[in-house]
Structure 1
């Protein structure tokens, strides 16, 4: 176990990772689940880590629960050990410890995407790794794994630049980007993952790798869209774009106008260029003091708009929406990108939620009528949000640096969100699935990874990518994590288990497993043939 302490060399989080010698795997077997660890082993881990190391059912159990708390309060993690990483060396030590103890590893930044509890393993929290460095000349930002989008937006704005951030600036950069990432600029510039230049990642062999299109093309492809299947990302280098002239906000209508507004919005979407992004949400907000009075306890429609252009131009564009029905609120105005949160007005405080999303190939009149039948004014359902978002534009085109992002074939996305509270444990999922079932004739064959929500069946998660993407992702998973150390959340399965790989006599040589080798080519060919047979059926 002395190798744990050997991983504790100080690292500079803002510097690119240097190649490291891989750690020898402890066992050729899948991670086990354990609720306790040997105290002596934990003490050695603490000497190797700069941040806190907290153990369940010990004197620091309360601190562990606080450190492991997710933004989504419906999810309560109960890991065996939590490592509060402050740098890449801490992550290396945590993964090395987990491998030596045969434990699974999960990672959490903010916990916005925490859809299922992680128990009996090692949870690495990254929020202390929040450094952001902007290179205005190269139009890039180097971002630590714990940074949130407001950090990057604020650092880039003085240089006249902006990141491909999401609708809520409190969301973590890493998780958002690894799952694709959609925001106000995406129809113009593509997914956030399309603008990743390089990543630093600790893989299951406890090796810190600097990954880009030149050094490790397969892993670089898979990380950008493959979510957390391949390791713990400790830093990313992202492209920035010229800070746009932005006219953005929302138009809010009473629920009685739902049919008119939705059909008008559907037709209006067909006239838009890539300079305009939009979504519409049927909201049933609670009757609570923090909600504006005219929106409490009733159905309202929020049409969100972000136009990259002057307000006069946007006003002409919005005329069909503004004339179709009276509005309760209309705050579509020229605003700085630093004020982009005002468009969607997503919650800023932690809350319990249950989510399920999907992609749609089209939104015709029949699809809108089907949605209205299950979520319109006459419906009684416990969902707070039923949202449609216009996709397409640059998101539908292959980027300069191809990646594993799912959902490029979707024309619209569908998201359903309800309170993740015990009293509605059955009602919310049932209502969400009823909405999705009503729109199933228009469902696309792929789904945005960040939109999967509480879908936790791993075969179903894999089905969110195309057949060819699945084959390549699973082959890459086999190369870098055949032991399935990173199995929590929306992760793909390896093509071949570690036990099967042991027959190749390569399991004990992670340096060979971590690079494109004959083994990788072999299983890539196997999966190509497998998916070809499936398509023929």
Structure 2
């Protein structure tokens, strides 16, 4: 195949960053996102190092009629961009903290770890999730279920303003006073409306949290989930928690009580640093195999997760639940039973501040859901992928009698159709998003995402 970059020498020369085509040294290293199941062979991969690079790349794709995918850490890649342009913004890593106003300004490729480390000296925290290596901007635009979800709401609700390169290459500012409709759409509508080159988000004064996990034998998983669900009925909004039932690999980096075992792990973050609310759960469940709860800084809590960091072939599925009934628990546990090709299921407690409409509205919908359930697996071979997908289809199909009708953008599986994406929003919000999409991206240039097509 001829290197398409031969046709774009002027484009390459004008870049501050770098561009790679098939056959170029370095192309193989940059063409794949974090999820290796998104096997893509783009005609161009642009590693942008400036906003001007972003604008030039968007214009190039639009003028040449080429598909365009925007990627940062690569965790959000959901459709392979073959024969198109991949705009990689991972080199745009600037982070500025205004401690007085409690606002963080993040460049397009900033990772959560860098944001939290910059905010920590001021005892401020952003609404990050369980993986500090993930891109902060993409995570936030997709909603963002953080470690303090019930205390401060969805990460998207804390967006203050954004600079956005739209489909014609223009750089526009979105705030409550300038392009407010675009700002509303960005807060939960994901990357459908342009390339966010700078995002401003609220930070929160969090001097300490009580954080950690307690590990119980997997044979007690139904008991753990039942006690946890009952406990959730009485906790304050300061408590954000989840249960992960999984078969832990026998790796030397895994603590001995868990290594190679099927376990149920209760994870919680309590904003404010007081662990007294855990007493009821401890009384119900007794002594765990391992108890790692402690009072610490938010930064320490955010960096303590066990999320994988290396690229891998990952797949999964998810659902929202109105409540965690015994039938739902049995179905979830059957899906991830020992020996299953799906080794883990995570159930998160929602509600609290996330259930309330924020002071400044956002596109995030389905705030009445009580829980989310997500199952994930590594599938390095076609045979393993087929087995995983079959188990996921069976498991979530059986769960359908217990599910909430909505969905969450950040938890949607790869290759979700627009019909599936529609379920992440209320009918009114979805129609409003489509109309805003028509204004800013009428040709659907930004479609290699959980796509919202423009209104006709």
Compute the TM-score of the two structures, normalised by the length of structure 1. Answer: 0.81
Deviations 1:420-451, CA, capped at 9 Å, x for gaps:
31141111112122222222122122211001
What stretches of structure 1 of length at least 5 have no aligned partner? 1-33, 497-537
| Stretch of structure 1 that moved more, 150-159 or 398-407 | 398-407
Q: How does 1:476-515 map to 2 (within 5 A)?
A: 476-496=436-456
Residue 354 of structure 1 is matched in structure 2 by 315
**Does the 8 Å contact 2:128/2:302 carry over to 1?**
no
Q: How does 1:423-438 map to 2 (within 5 A)?
A: 423-438=383-398
Q: Name which of 162, 180, 184 aligns with 1:217.
A: 180
Whole-angstrom distance in 2 between the partners of 1:350 and 1:373: 28
Alpha-carbon RMSD: 1.9
**Does the 8 Å contact 1:131/1:143 carry over to 2?**
yes
Whole-angstrom distance in 1 between the partners of 2:13 and 2:431: 41
Whole-angstrom distance in 2 between the partners of 1:262 and 1:254: 12
Residue 363 of structure 2 is matched in structure 1 by 404
Q: Aligned pair in 2 of structure 1 residues 191, 93: CA closer, same or farther (>3 Å)? A: same
Residue 366 of structure 1 is matched in structure 2 by 327
Q: Name which of 41, 47, 52 aligns with 1:78.
A: 41
Q: How does 1:87-486 map to 2 (within 5 A)?
A: 87-310=50-273, 313-321=274-282, 323-341=284-302, 344-376=305-337, 380-422=339-381, 423-486=383-446
| Stretch of structure 1 that moved more, 264-273 or 357-366 | 357-366
- TM-fit CA distance, 1:206: 1.1
- TM-fit CA distance, 1:348: 2.8
**Does the 8 Å contact 2:79/2:415 carry over to 1?**
no
Q: Aligned pair in 2 of structure 1 residues 298, 468: CA closer, same or farther (>3 Å)? A: same
What SS class does the counterpart of residue 182 from structure 1 fall into?
A: coil
Q: Aligned pair in 2 of structure 1 residues 36, 329: CA closer, same or farther (>3 Å)? A: same
**Does the 8 Å contact 1:157/1:243 carry over to 2?**
no
Whole-angstrom distance in 1 between the partners of 2:175 and 2:212: 37
Residue 18 of structure 1 is matched in structure 2 by none
- TM-fit CA distance, 1:277: 0.5
Whole-angstrom distance in 1 between the partners of 2:31 and 2:177: 36
Whole-angstrom distance in 2 between the partners of 1:394 and 1:337: 18
**Does the 8 Å contact 1:445/1:466 carry over to 2?**
no
**Does the 8 Å contact 1:249/1:342 carry over to 2?**
no
What SS class does the counterpart of residue 190 from structure 2 fall into?
A: coil
Please identify runs of 4+ aligned residues in structure 1 that moved more than 6 A. none
Aligned length: 455
Whole-angstrom distance in 1 between the partners of 2:428 and 2:58: 30
What SS class does the counterpart of residue 144 from structure 2 fall into?
A: coil
Compute the TM-score of the two structures, normalised by the length of structure 2. Answer: 0.95
**Does the 8 Å contact 2:106/2:198 carry over to 1?**
yes
Residue 54 of structure 1 is matched in structure 2 by 20
What SS class does the counterpart of residue 425 from structure 1 fall into?
A: helix
- TM-fit CA distance, 1:325: 4.2
- TM-fit CA distance, 1:36: 6.3
Q: Aligned pair in 2 of structure 1 residues 342, 147: CA closer, same or farther (>3 Å)? A: closer
- TM-fit CA distance, 1:196: 0.8
User: Quick check: which has more Rg, 1 or 2?
Assistant: 1
**Does the 8 Å contact 2:421/2:450 carry over to 1?**
yes
**Does the 8 Å contact 2:227/2:284 carry over to 1?**
no
- TM-fit CA distance, 1:129: 0.5
Deviations 1:314-363, CA, capped at 9 Å, x for gaps:
14533433541441110011111111235542123333211211211111
Deviations 1:127-173, CA, capped at 9 Å, x for gaps:
11000011111110111011001111111111121111111111101
**Does the 8 Å contact 2:68/2:81 carry over to 1?**
no
**Does the 8 Å contact 2:218/2:262 carry over to 1?**
yes
**Does the 8 Å contact 1:115/1:489 carry over to 2?**
yes
What SS class does the counterpart of residue 235 from structure 1 fall into?
A: strand
Whole-angstrom distance in 2 between the partners of 1:238 and 1:373: 40
